[in-house]
A = this chain, B = another copy of it.
């Protein structure tokens, strides 16, 4: 497997399978782990970072789950490739910004990925389509156990897993669920929902990561607290909250259908029409229209297109993806044209 193959693949998390795939795009768990007796990355020099990298790689090489993985040194990648991996939700901006001694490991289908020497020595991420944090937890904990057999993790009986930032200490686990909530937005209930989420100590972010605005009506909801509760408790808490949000979105969709189906059909079909026909389109407009199209598919108003294609487009319309697809650098105006042509090609437009 090579980095170049990724562009033609769709990550498993985008395939529109799994529970509640009409509302839940994907579920994700992230574990932070550090090696004992090594400084945290921000305190380590280059030599130490490389040694940490080597130690972790050696351990992974013996673990079957990493058999088909790709190991990428961030320093070896150009800017487009780094941006490309960020766009695929496989690594953070921070990981790309200061690449020395950093690496990224990605499994086939992109279910499993590990950032080495980001804020912590290891950030293990498991991401799958649909609403299934427990299944993902099983995957993550198995890998964690395998790694723990070969690596000496920084762990305190009192505090749990030790991390570079104290907010992660404890389980060092963050679970997050990417929800598509167009009906809560259209019925203007979303702020009430987000306020409730925040009061319960959960965070909400946009589709395109930390610090991004919600776009395309996507909301990534994750736990903030990782200390004082077991992993299972944290997952149960997230699940309970997410189930409520799903129910509210479903009610809002039914209310829209009942009260104003023609308006909804109009909005959805127009979005489809513009996506099929635009020759120049910004990413902002694209995600808004794709969101309506996704809703249309979920509500069976649009029947001739697979949700997987739409999910995948949310990723592929980003700048680095467009440039990888085109095989060269594109300026903003070129990208707006390439984006439109890609969309027409994928959804059968004019």
CB-based contact B277/A269 at 8 Å? yes
CB-based contact B266/A340 at 8 Å? yes
CB-based contact A350/B278 at 8 Å? no
Chain B CB within 8 A of A265 CB: yes
A349 to B278, CA, bound (A): 16
| A49-74 interface code vs B (CB 8 A; 1 in, 0 out) | 00000000000000000000000000
A274 to B350, CA, bound (A): 13
Partner of A350 from the list B269, B337, B349 (CB cut-off 8 Å) is B269
Question: A225: shortest Cβ distance to chain B, in Å?
Answer: 46
Chain A binding surface SS class? helix
CB-based contact A350/B279 at 8 Å? no
Known contacts A266-B280, A279-B265; A274/B274 CB under 8 A: yes
| A265-285 interface code vs B (CB 8 A; 1 in, 0 out) | 110011011111111110000
CB-based contact A278/B269 at 8 Å? yes
Chain B CB within 8 A of A262 CB: yes
CB-based contact B266/A270 at 8 Å? no
CB-based contact A262/B279 at 8 Å? yes
Chain B CB within 8 A of A263 CB: yes
A176 to B349, CA, bound (A): 40
A266 to B266, CA, bound (A): 21
**Using a CB-CB cutoff of 8 Å, which residues 260-312 of chain A contact chain B?**
262-263, 265-266, 269-270, 272-281
Question: A273: shortest Cβ distance to chain B, in Å?
Answer: 3
CB-based contact B280/A350 at 8 Å? no
CB-based contact B270/A278 at 8 Å? yes
A176 to B217, CA, bound (A): 52
| Pairs A–B under 8 Å by Cβ, sample size 16 | A262-B279, A263-B280, A265-B279, A266-B279, A266-B280, A266-B281, A269-B277, A269-B279, A269-B350, A270-B274, A270-B277, A270-B279, A273-B274, A273-B276, A273-B277, A273-B350
Q: Which residues of A contact B (CB under 8 A)?
A: 262-263, 265-266, 269-270, 272-281, 337, 340, 349-350
Sample of 9 further A-B pairs with CB below 8 A, known A269-B278, A270-B278? A265-B279, A266-B278, A269-B277, A269-B350, A270-B274, A270-B277, A270-B279, A272-B277, A274-B274
